[in-house]
Amino acid sequence: MTQCFVQWGLPKRIKVDNGKPLGDPQRSSVPALALWLIAVGVQVTWSRPRSPKDNPKVERMQATSSRWAEVEHCDSCTELQSRLDTAARVQRELYPLRRMSNRSRKELYPALYSNSRIWSSPTAFDLSRVQQYLRGEVVFVRKVSKGGFINFYAQSVYLGKRCRNSYVCLHYDVQLNHFRVEDESKVTIGWFTADNFNEDNIRNLSVCQYRSIKCSNLVSFPTAQT
């Protein structure tokens, strides 16, 4: 992906389906790779579940690329990549479009070759983009197990048996860097740390942390520092 960004510049947005690694089939989380894209300044838009007709040109392009590259004849991943690269170049630069007076896509869309959003990894990454996205765009819903746990980015979070078999909503708090937990009546019942959503983990796609943590109750709910 970074090789594409180096060659073509950073896109403003990417539309993806709900399959891994950019999507979540259950639509219950934002995958680590999508968080990374948001951090570098790319807007990620997900298609509706089980609705390939929402993106017909891409779906057809994949089938066409497969035929042009004759992927069934590839003996290795290296050969497959080489064939796909060639098919993509032909499709963009050489193939004449009859509906467009036999001009190529390169002739029709010269701006593709002069994207001003130059890729620069150290300067492109901004953790605050992820924080603002989590705060404004996402509410995570989880069902509490019989033992009083929820699973959140591979973490086993203990909420207590009083919450078992219920649903809770998780809201990200930028200032305190934690997730506030609401019950089904939208009453805050506690919070737990969001320290796994740090810069290193998002850069390295390691937001998922296999660990056990405890949700602090409302009595010890922290207050913002002045």
Look up the CATH number of the domain holding residue 48: 3.30.420.10
3-state SS, residue 114: coil
The pLDDT of residue 145: 96
The residue count of the chain comes to 226
- The count of structural domains within the chain is 2
- pLDDT one-digit tens code per residue, 114-136: 888 888 777 789 999 999 999 98
Average confidence (pLDDT) over 184-207:
94
DSSP annotation of 79 reads H
Domain-located, residue 42:
yes
Distance CA 27, CA 130 (A): 18
Q: Which domain holds residue 108?
A: 2-122
Average confidence (pLDDT) over 198-215:
95
C-alpha closest to that of 195 among 153, 139, 149, 140: 153
DSSP annotation of 110 reads G
Same-domain status, 61 and 149 = no
Same-domain status, 19 and 94 = yes
pTM: 0.85
Among the three residues 94, 122, 150, which one is the final residue of a domain in this structure? Answer: 122
Tokens of 70: 């004759």
- pLDDT one-digit tens code per residue, 26-35: 888 999 999 9
The pLDDT of residue 218: 53
Quick check: 19 pLDDT over 90? Answer: no
Quick check: 222 pLDDT over 50? Answer: no
Average confidence (pLDDT) over 192-197:
95
Average confidence (pLDDT) over 214-223:
62
C-alpha closest to that of 221 among 182, 163, 185, 165: 182
The pLDDT of residue 162: 87
Distance CA 96, CA 173 (A): 52
DSSP annotation of 159 reads -
The Cβ-side half-sphere exposure at 194, using a 13 Å CA radius, reads: 21
Average confidence (pLDDT) over 171-193:
93
Q: Kindly state the percentage of the chain with pLDDT values over 70.
A: 96
DSSP annotation of 209 reads -
In contact, 69 and 83? CB cutoff 8 Å: yes
